[in-house]
């Protein structure tokens, strides 16, 4: 790609060297080539920070080889202000690169002229090349509006499809109306401190509710830290606050988003971020879970900060009115470039309501965007919701071919500007002991998930004659959990959240109205409940560990139905053959003959399990079902003084299945001899499908963590030591990024009811015999 070598030399040479030079009132015109006379008039040529104007005329040097040559006819100081696609450069070896019109009709071209030395005192140049400029995919720099509560004093936004530059063509780089690009203002000896606070994958966990321990105010803890840093900042210190994406989905606050534009109320995360002064956020995969139209409305209504992604394109709903590939923010003379990159994994692309939405190649999009940002920025931040895939952390939720490591390596080859990757997506707490993840001189940062940590990175910058020197330090600040049961005399008292750890003013002015909205939303009716007594809490609590359960049947069948619209994985459908949920995740039922509210369903499913799709052979499914038969609460365990309390947690991992899988548990004498028999899948005996492969949906609690004995070890929970669980954790799997509960709620809203007609029924999928 030719942009870095040529057009950017044209577009930004003045910024590199002119420093505090005064801004001219009139923007420069593009050079003109007179095809009749061969003369070229160049209103603006940058050389060593000096703006010149040149006129060239055709002239053949004595003794020169055949070719086309021009001689300097006149020169002077330029009296106009440079613009990216109009100002030429006179670079190393006096090579002249010129954006020009008139070469061929009205088309724009870029021409290169090589200096041709002679023994005379004349200046000659020889024709080297001319190539057209791509005017179909124009890159534009516009004036933006920074968050008034944030760290930037001024903001510039890029527009353009950076994922799809035409090969072997120059890009047309234009200025928005009355836009003068940000100039390099740091002078030799200037020192600047850039302090960056960052978080990622908050998933709307602004507050974590607990009836006994008290509520944990995760975001308000961050707010207090950031506000104090901004209040304490010295004259040459800048404090930024950034989000690494996945700000939505995973908390009851999601319900304020609604499920479509009509049901949207407010975006609680973006409302809170705007109020505290967030400076930018990257689009994560979960931002698109409820559709691009809803997300566009959320941005327009509640985000007073720029939302970024350089590789998303094609949406009919998300336009440059809503998000940008990159920005340049300016504060205290420092120009900070920020580029956003969004993972393809678990991102809902090409959906029926936005069929052209796509995510472009990460490294191509990075290269294209960085080539424009680099020469306009003193420091560059790559805000990536892609995931760290280095060797430092071996336990990962996704396998990544392109992750933060490859992004850092690519960026290091593209620029010498100080650059840092601030990432998200894999929920990793990187740099807990200080900065220890650096790839090819590019630091990589990530701050856990769901408010576990607040990241802090500090750049110490010094402008020298050779350029901007930089030194970065980084750390993670652990955020505290609430437990009001812990007394002041407990040595761990200070490790828990207390009122002086949070910004109480922020809580009362910003969060309290959101809490009130949420309370109202949780009372909203999402459907009706049928008349069967099998739907009640009492019945489902009694049934969940001993066999078939109406609510679990309904949930698993709903997931199979919803999987038609699951995001693709590597171009392959993730529609599932069966769905599975653990009995301990079912915390209740619903009241028959009643309206069903959001709050009612949160009582059924209080846990935000993510949906993980695994690939299992028929043989593995059979082994899992056999293991499950040993986990059932047996009749003899329900009798006597030490009887199991079915109202509590019987944490032995008994699983409920969707209707596609049917089997019989033969109890025999005890758990060690219990077996599963007559197993069928889609009406066909499992023994005839042992070598076939199936997509199976689980909650992440069981399959990712191997919880409740699904890790190949002793199950425990009152079972004999000889009961060893099947290991689910070794299966090939993919975290869809979808929340189990949210998919069920969406299904209920679509169907309008929880009753026999929508799958809330016992159908004999599991039989129990002595």
- 245-292 pLDDT, tens digit each: 999 988 889 889 987 899 899 999 999 999 999 999 999 988 998 889
pLDDT one-digit tens code per residue, 480-491 = 999 999 999 999
Pick 742 or 321 by higher pLDDT.
Answer: 321
Dist CA 100 CA 111 (whole Å): 7
**What percentage of the chain has pLDDT greater than the value 70?**
94
Angle at CA of residue 218, ends 244 and 598, nearest 5°: 95
How sure is the predictor about 13, in pLDDT bands with cuts at 50, 70 and 90?
A: very low
Exposure on the CB side of residue 142, measured as CA atoms within 13 A: 17
Q: How many CA atoms lie within 13 A of 102 on its CB side?
A: 16
Task: Quick: pLDDT tens for 693-731.
Answer: 999 999 988 888 788 899 998 998 889 999 999 999 899
Return the pLDDT at 183: 83
CA-based nearest residue to 144, from 171, 172, 173, 182: 182
H or E stretch including 549?
none
What is the rounded CA–CA span in Å between residue 54 and residue 70? 12
CB under 8 Å, gap of 24 or more: what pairs does 223-230 form?
223/276, 223/502, 223/503, 223/506, 224/501, 224/502, 224/503, 224/506, 225/197, 225/454, 225/477, 226/197, 226/276, 226/277, 227/276, 227/503, 227/506, 229/195, 229/197, 230/151, 230/277
Residue found by looking up tokens 């396998």 in the block: 399
pLDDT digits 0-9 by tens, 637-681: 999 888 888 887 788 999 999 999 999 999 999 999 999 999 999
For 686-698, what is the mean pLDDT? 97
Model pLDDT for residues 525-582, shown as the tens digit of each residue: 999 999 999 999 999 999 999 999 999 999 999 999 999 989 887 778 899 999 999 9
How many angstroms separate the CA atoms of 464 and 487, rounded? 54
Q: Across all residues in the chain, what is the average pLDDT?
A: 90
Band the pLDDT of 29: cuts 50, 70, 90: confident
Extents of the domains making up the chain: 7-133, 182-487+511-517, 523-769
- Of the candidates 564, 770, 766, the one whose C-alpha atom is nearest the C-alpha of residue 655 is 766
Tell me the C-alpha distance between 467 and 486, whole Å: 54
**What dihedral do alpha carbons 677, 679, 684, 690 form, nearest 10°?**
-100
**How does DSSP assign 687-747, residue by residue?**
GG-TT-EEEEEEEHHHHTT-GGG-BSSB--TTS-TT-B--B-TTS-EEEEEEEHHHHHHHH
| pLDDT, position 398 | 54
Q: For residue 11, report the phi and psi dihedrals to the nearest 5 degrees.
A: -75, -25
Sign, CA dihedral 662-666-667-672, equals negative
Burial 118-145 (b: 16+ CB within 10 A, else e): eeeeebbbbeeeeebbbeebebbbbebe
Nearest CA to 753 out of 476, 599, 527 is that of 527
Q: What is the structure's pLDDT at 393?
A: 56
Higher pLDDT, 51 or 284: 284
Question: Which of 244, 210, 283 lies closest to 427 in space, CA to CA?
Answer: 244
User: What digits encode the pLDDT tens for the residues 411-430?
Assistant: 999 999 999 999 999 888 99
CB within 8 Å of 217: residues ≥ 6 apart: 206, 207, 482, 497, 502, 507, 511
Same fold, 182-487+511-517 and 523-769: no
Strand extents, DSSP E, 260-333: 280-282, 307-308, 312-313, 326-331
Separation between Cα atoms, residue 52 and residue 99, nearest integer Å: 15
Quick check: 478 pLDDT over 90? yes
CA distance 83 to 235: 32
CA atoms 571, 575, 580, 585: torsion sign: positive
Q: How many CA atoms lie within 13 A of 586 on its CB side?
A: 34
Look at residue 18 in the predicted model and tell me its pLDDT: 33
Bigger pLDDT: 84 vs 468: 468
Work out the end-to-end distance of the chain between its first and last CA atoms, rounded to an integer number of angstroms.
72
CA-nearest of 634, 686, 688, 636 to 657 is: 686
CA proximity to 200, closest of 473, 433, 385, 439: 385
Where is 512: in which H helix or E strand? helix 512-521
Measured in residues, the chain has a length of: 770
- Residue 251: closest CA among 215, 296, 298: 215
- The pairing of beta strand 595-597 with beta strand 525-529: antiparallel
Q: Is the pLDDT of residue 688 over 50?
A: yes
Residue among 90, 93, 94, 134 nearest 110 (CA)? 134
Structure confidence at residue 347 (pLDDT): 81
| Dihedral-angle region of residue 268 (phi above 0 means left; psi in -120 to 50 means alpha; beta otherwise) | alpha
Is the model more confident about 19 or about 495?
495
Number of neighbouring beta carbons within 10 Å of residue 615: 13
How many whole angstroms separate alpha carbon 713 and alpha carbon 727? 8
Residue 49 CA to residue 321 CA, distance in Å, equals 35
pTM: 0.76
Domain at 523-769, CATH class: alpha beta
Per CATH, which fold does 182-487+511-517 belong to?
Purple Acid Phosphatase; chain A, domain 2 (3.60.21)
Q: Say whether pLDDT at 348 is over 90.
A: no
Q: How far apart are CA 304 and CA 297, in angstroms?
A: 13
Q: In what order do the strands lie in the sheet with 578-582?
A: 655-657, 578-582, 693-699, 610-617, 733-739
The mean-pLDDT minimum among 83-87, 183-187, 255-259, 647-651 falls in: 83-87
Which of 18-27, 303-312, 558-567 has the weakest average pLDDT? Answer: 18-27
* Rounded Cα gap, residues 243 and 422, in angstroms: 9
Least confident of 84-93, 94-103, 152-161: 84-93
pLDDT of residue 193: 98
- The Cα 442–Cα 370 span in angstroms is 14
């Amino acid at each position: 790609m030719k942009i870095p070598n040529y057009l950017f030399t044209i577009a930004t040479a003045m910024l590199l060297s002119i420093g505090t030079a005064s801004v001219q009132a009139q923007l420069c015109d593009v050079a003109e080539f007179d095809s009749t006379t061969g003369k070229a008039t160049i209103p603006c040529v940058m050389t060593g920070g000096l703006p010149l104007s040149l006129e060239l005329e055709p002239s053949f040097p004595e003794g020169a080889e055949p070719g086309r040559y021009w001689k300097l006819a006149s020169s002077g100081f330029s009296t106009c202000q440079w613009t990216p696609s109009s100002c030429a450069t006179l670079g190393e070896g006096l090579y002249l690169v010129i954006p020009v019109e008139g070469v061929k009709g009205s088309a724009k071209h870029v021409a290169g002229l090589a200096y041709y030395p002679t023994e005379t005192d004349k200046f000659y140049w020889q024709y080297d090349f001319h190539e057209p400029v791509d005017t179909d995919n124009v890159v534009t720099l516009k004036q933006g509006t920074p968050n008034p509560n944030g760290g930037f004093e001024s903001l510039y936004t890029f527009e353009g499809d950076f994922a799809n530059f035409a090969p072997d063509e120059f890009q047309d780089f234009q200025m928005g109306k009355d836009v003068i690009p940000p100039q390099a203002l740091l002078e030799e000896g200037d020192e600047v401190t850039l302090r960056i606070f960052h978080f990622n994958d908050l998933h709307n966990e602004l507050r974590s509710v607990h009836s006994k321990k008290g509520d944990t105010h995760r975001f308000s803890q961050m707010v207090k830290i950031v506000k104090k840093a901004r209040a304490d900042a010295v004259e040459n210190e800048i404090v930024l606050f950034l989000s690494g994406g996945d700000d939505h989905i995973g908390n009851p606050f999601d319900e304020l988003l609604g499920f479509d534009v009509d049901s949207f109320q407010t975006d609680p995360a973006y409302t809170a971020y705007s109020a505290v002064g967030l400076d930018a956020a990257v689009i994560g995969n979960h931002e698109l879970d409820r559709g691009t139209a809803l997300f566009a409305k959320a941005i327009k209504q509640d985000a007073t900060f720029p939302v970024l992604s350089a590789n998303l394109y094609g949406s009919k709903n998300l336009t440059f009115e809503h998000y940008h590939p990159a920005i340049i923010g300016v504060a205290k003379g420092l120009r900070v470039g920020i580029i956003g990159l969004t993972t393809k994994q678990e991102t809902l692309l090409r959906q029926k309501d936005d069929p052209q939405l796509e995510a472009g190649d990460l490294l191509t999009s990075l290269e294209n965007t960085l080539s424009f940002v680099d020469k306009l920025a003193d420091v560059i931040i790559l805000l990536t919701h892609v995931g760290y895939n280095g060797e430092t952390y071996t336990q990962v939720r996704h396998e990544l071919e392109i992750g933060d490591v490859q992004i850092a390596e690519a960026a290091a080859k593209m620029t010498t500007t100080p650059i840092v990757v601030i990432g998200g997506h894999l929920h990793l707490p990187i740099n807990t002991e200080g900065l220890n993840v650096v790839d090819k001189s590019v630091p990589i940062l990530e701050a856990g998930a769901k408010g576990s940590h607040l990241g802090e990175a500090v750049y110490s910058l010094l402008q020298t004659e050779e350029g901007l020197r930089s030194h970065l330090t980084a750390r993670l600040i652990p955020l505290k959990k609430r437990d009001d049961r812990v007394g002041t005399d407990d040595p761990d008292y200070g490790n828990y959240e207390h009122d002086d750890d949070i910004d109480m003013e922020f809580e009362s002015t910003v969060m309290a109205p959101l809490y009130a909205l949420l309370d109202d939303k949780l009372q909203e009716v999402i459907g009706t409940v049928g008349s069967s007594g099998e739907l009640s809490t009492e019945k489902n609590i009694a049934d969940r560990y001993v066999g078939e359960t109406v609510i679990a049947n309904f949930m698993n069948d709903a997931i199979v139905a919803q999987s038609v619209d699951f995001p693709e994985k590597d171009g392959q459908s993730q529609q599932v053959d069966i769905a599975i949920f653990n009995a301990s995740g079912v915390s209740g039922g619903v009241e028959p003959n009643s309206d069903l509210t959001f709050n009612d369903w949160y009582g059924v499913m209080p846990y935000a399990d993510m949906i993980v799709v695994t690939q299992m052979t028929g043989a593995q499914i059979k082994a899992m079902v056999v293991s499950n038969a040993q986990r059932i609460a047996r009749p003899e365990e329900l009798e006597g003084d030490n009887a199991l309390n079915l109202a509590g947690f019987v944490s032995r991992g008994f699983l409920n299945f969707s209707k596609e899988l049917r089997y019989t548990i033969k109890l025999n004498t005890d758990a060690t001899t219990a077996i599963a028999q007559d197993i069928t899948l889609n009406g066909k005996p499992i023994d005839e499908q042992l070598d076939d492969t199936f997509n199976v949906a689980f909650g992440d609690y069981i399959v990712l963590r191997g919880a409740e004995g699904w890790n190949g070890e002793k199950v425990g929970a009152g079972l004999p030591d000889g009961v060893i669980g099947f290991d689910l954790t070794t299966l090939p799997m993919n975290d869809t990024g979808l929340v189990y509960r949210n998919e069920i709620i969406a299904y209920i809203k679509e169907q309008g009811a929880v009753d026999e007609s929508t799958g809330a029924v016992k159908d004999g999928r599991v039989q129990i015999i002595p």
